[in-house]
Structure 1
Amino acid sequence: MPSVLALNTPSPADLWAMDREHALHPWTQFGTFEREGALVISKGEGCWLWDADGRRYFDSVGGLWCTNIGLGRREMALAMADQAERLAFSNTFVDMTNEPSARLAAKLAELTPGDLNRVHFTTGGSTAVDSAARMVGFYQHAMGRPKKQGIVARDHSYHGSTYLSQSIGKRPGDRVEEFRYKTDGIWHLSVPNPYRRPAKMTEAAFCDWLIAEFEALIAKVGADRIGGFIAEPIQASGGVIVPPEGYLKRMWEVCQRHDILFIADEVVTSFGRLGHWFASWDEFGVQPDIICTAKGLTSGYVPMGAVLFSDRIWDVMAEGGARWFSSGYTYAGHPVASAVALKNIEIMEREDLLGNATKVGAYFEARMKELAAMPLVGDVRGKKLMVCVENVADKETKAVLPDEANESKRISNAAEAMGLMVRPMGHLNVMSPPLVITEAQADFVAEVLERAIRQVTDELVREGFKLG
């Protein structure tokens, strides 16, 4: 006779139905969701996932750019359990802290570049960006510049989904008419995408044009109204945009000349994605005033984020001792999350996962770029373990297929049927696998994705879509 537990255990179909009938997912497309529901994932180990029906997939998406050390690490679970038993919660408001939070703050100060020795803990990347933007205004006001509150970002940028962070970002598809967004005091510059630069313009000239655009905006708006500039070193969800050589350093230099704080949104690029703890300095030679981080900080095992900022900013905000930084979160510096982050960093150091990301990342990048020869592929770009394939209808004109072709989603569906997860975004297929990926697994991703692209290309041709 079946046990009571077995009788009460939902089947895969039950789980699918429960989710479909009750859950509102981030970025839900209502028609598709009501028709198809969601894929129910039940297990993860290393780079692999299993769904509720037992099918296995290689997760080249890395969760959402975040499962850096891989899933199923027992020592991570033990670190959670030990800390939860010892101290499950203690707030960090005003004059309270806890041991893991204090240790993590010191460890992050050790890892960050330059004088970024101060840490404001948050609950994730969105809240880190939200807090960083508010910190800019606080700092500038404390400097005696109360009007210098505005933030400059870029088109195709994604900086989170709080009201303020989504207003700062400007990714196609994120701005829907049903929501309102903050527009006052936020300005956007052109996306620094070399692949989509004006025809016949060299990459160097494109870079010059982008810098001139920033200078022109400052002249128009007034440097006395712009407090900060925010940039992902590589625009992740905006299309894995690697900027022209020298772009970030020159944008930083413009900021320095006009007393504009440089915020590096490293929610994706930090903790090994590009083979460094932080990419701003090590990959691009830029010393930010503020770094936002999350995702790889805990490898997705628990939610956590942080704003890492300079001693100089702290000294200005703290001068005189009378001010209150009246912003924060109940779960900031959560002891369990802090313990997990410390264990995550320990594993990364012990196993030299930055080294593996550098070595295998270069191999993965090279294997992905072999796909550029395919008729449907216009561009393959990225660095190390952060790569995307842009699909086009015509390689020469770079024209994309009409939306009804839905080629990127069809490619991800085909790959999924072959045991590989890639992320469809517009006309892109994006990959950000865990740092523990091997060269053999990189080959698997490249080979399966190639088969999926060929399959969808054949389907599109049969359906009458013209491919140049």
Structure 2
Amino acid sequence: MPQLSNSLHVRDVASLVHPQTNLRKHVESGPRIFTRGEGIHVYDDAGKKYLEAAAGLWCASLGFGNERLAKVAYNQMRDIGYYHIYRHASHGPAIELAEKLLEIAPVPMSKVVFQCSGSEANDTAVKLVWYYWNAVGKPQKKKIIARMASYHGSTCASVSLTGKPEMHADFNLPFPNFLHTEFPHYYRFAAEGETEEQYSARMAAALEQLILKEGPETIAAFWAEPVMGAGGAVLPPAGYFKRIQDVLRKYDILFVADEVICGFGRTGNMWGSQTFDMQPDMISCAKALSAGLIPISALLINERVFQAMLTESDRQGSFAHGYTYAGHPVAAAVALETLKIYDELGIVDHVRRMEKPFLAGLHSLRDHPLVGSAEGIGLIGGIEIVQDKASRKPFPAEQQIPTKIDAKIRERGVILRLIGNRLAFSPPLIIDEAQIGDMFDRIGDALREFR
């Protein structure tokens, strides 16, 4: 094993399992330790400063080291640092946060169910989909359709939704009744001469064919992220969600929007559902709900779903679902304050102003011979690394060219998200124009080494 730089590295290798990590490589090389953050930057234990252009895991919307939110958490801990919301008990922060979320929801919603993570929010939505159809007398509606390359979480149900086979391998997943339709990645999979609208029509037709093959009477719900984050920050092609929703309405299939990444300003609206004219029955959200500073998530449900929940709760005697830390008062207080900060900063308007320089910088990378596509919206986007632009042919996996490009970018003090052949951008929403210019200057310098 190589010599590790300090005792923290040694203790990490001895004691800690890291998610989404090559465990053998980690044991051999150890981690990079990050020690503090300030604004849009983080610092490692060697003192190196990085522009965190991935906002951690898409979530540090207000950057790092927010003293105001720290004080809110401290004050709430001193007041009532924990209480549950089981069996008719409640507390102010959870009630106020639920009211605020319903107030800003992109479509009319009736109630809020709190959890601790985006995975749990989607997991809860799966249960409520089945609960709903049982309540209305259609228990045969059990199958759920998501999309290849989608990501909806890591619990057993939410990872079954997830359309990434590497996350299923040897975990005996996905569970039965979880199906996947096409990954709507226009750049990668469109036919020669096919417009985005034509491609969207083909994607909707493929979904309908899957529904008919399985039997419409068995299909319970369809899941979709407005922008496919872990798919590589892939935007939907023009007309996609209109056509998809036409199919869902035709066969009476519930629609769940996974807003875990896109919610709270990321796409230039408060919700990605507004950006792409989605009309979901349920909305899962997390990450930027608390600016990533404390674990909390929420599932918003419409009146149709809630009325069925009332019926089934009457039948069963109670709504037998919940989490110990659901609506935790400290997490709820921090989330409430986060939403206040968004209002004070005019965060949606700020994202819209920053979209122009962000997209200009992103599109400037298209001139590089290895960048096949570069697209985004708001403050989220991605570039695809290819060996040949004309054919869109990727590099052989063993050459690890995207990995090497990502490493060079990190050497220049910028952290992006590497996803297969794509590099994804999702900087903190507080980033300014000068910082955007600096970010793309450094990335451009790194890419020039690969001409």
Moved more, 294-303 or 162-171: 162-171
Quick one: distance in 2 between partners of 1:220 and 1:446? 47
**Deviation of 1:12 (Å):** 6.4
Aligned to 1:386: 380
In the alignment, does 2:9 pair up with 1:16?
yes
In the alignment, does 2:355 pair up with 1:361?
yes
The counterpart of 1:284, out of the listed 276, 282, 294, is 276
Label 1:172 to 1:398 Cα distance change in 2 as closer, same or farther (>3 A): farther
The 5 A counterparts of 1:125-136 are 125-136=118-129
Secondary structure at the residue paired with 1:308? Answer: strand
| Contact residue 110 and residue 117 of structure 1 kept, 8 A | no
The 5 A counterparts of 1:115-264 are 115-171=108-164, 173-176=166-169, 178-196=170-188, 197-264=190-257
1:28-87: CA deviation from partner (whole Å, max 9, x where unpaired): 202321222111011111100011121111100101100111211111000000000101
Structure 1, unpaired ranges of 5+: 1-10, 459-468
| Contact residue 258 and residue 283 of structure 2 kept, 8 A | yes
Q: How many residues are matched?
A: 445
Aligned to 1:346: 340
Label 1:422 to 1:150 Cα distance change in 2 as closer, same or farther (>3 A): same
Aligned to 2:31: 38
Aligned to 1:4: none
**Deviation of 1:114 (Å):** 2.5
The counterpart of 2:447, out of the listed 412, 428, 453, is 453
1:340-397: CA deviation from partner (whole Å, max 9, x where unpaired): 0000000010011111111102320221111011011111122121111110001011
Quick one: distance in 2 between partners of 1:440 and 1:34? 39
1:103-132: CA deviation from partner (whole Å, max 9, x where unpaired): 101110101023213100011100111110
**Deviation of 1:208 (Å):** 1.2
Identity %: 34
Give the TM-score, by structure 2 length: 0.96
Q: How well do the aligned residues superpose, as a CA RMSD in angstroms?
A: 1.4
The counterpart of 2:75, out of the listed 49, 68, 82, is 82
In the alignment, does 2:417 pair up with 1:413?
no
AA in 2 matched with 1:365: L
| Contact residue 168 and residue 174 of structure 2 kept, 8 A | no
Aligned to 1:316: 308
Quick one: distance in 2 between partners of 1:437 and 1:419? 16
Aligned to 1:268: 261
Secondary structure at the residue paired with 2:168? Answer: coil
Quick one: distance in 1 between partners of 2:349 and 2:246? 30
| Contact residue 227 and residue 233 of structure 2 kept, 8 A | yes
1:278-320: CA deviation from partner (whole Å, max 9, x where unpaired): 111x211121100000000001100111110102211122037
AA in 2 matched with 1:15: L
Quick one: distance in 1 between partners of 2:366 and 2:261? 24
Secondary structure at the residue paired with 2:176? Answer: coil
**Deviation of 1:94 (Å):** 2.6
Quick one: distance in 1 between partners of 2:221 and 2:267? 25
In the alignment, does 2:66 pair up with 1:73?
yes
